[in-house]
Chain A
Amino acid sequence: DADVTQTPRNRITKTGKRIMLECSQTKGHDRMYWYRQDPGLGLRLIYYSFDVKDINKGEISDGYSVSRQAQAKFSLSLESAIPNQTALYFCATSDSVGTENLSYGYTFGSGTRLTVV
């Protein structure tokens, strides 16, 4: 099984529908992130969570919400999907950074391709 699992892998939904993307991890990492990728724009941060009770907005949080149900689970919701939310969505995890080694990068999920029609 993958260390970070995203479901679904692909999803087509209609404008105005509520949709949830799920992410679960077996890394035991405390930090979890949701990014979206658009062609030519790289990866942009939507939300991040340092632990179950600590959730923060990223640069592009409008139109999204998240839930950290447990240390291992972090879900992203689109309350009312719109076509410009069509993108590739990534969940990622990392260990805490403090005095720890900066070389700790992210562990990525395989991504969810979301199309809003």
Chain B
Amino acid sequence: EAGVAQSPRYKIIEKRQSVAFWCNPISGHATLYWYQQILGQGPKLLIQFQNNGVVDDSQLPKDRFSAERLKGVDSTLKIQPAKLEDSAVYLCASSPLQAQSRGQYFGPGTRLTVT
């Protein structure tokens, strides 16, 4: 079974620019998560999708961050405009709908550096 795929793996941008990250979850996994992991901290949930609906986005800075999962499969996370404090690793994870208590499967992450 192929794992969670993310691209790009690395991105360097200047502040006030925009950036987009892509995630392809494991086939058949209905739930998709985006996390932000700042250096020295644990992953922090930004948004959780179930199929193409949003379950929780309470920690998503909506003035600059947006995410979509239009067909209930792939997802895109966008930052516009980026700030220095957005420098972090952005992780995507997925889990089956009926087996969320079995844990999540993570992608390799995208390391974003904002200069």
Q: Does chain A bind chain B?
A: no
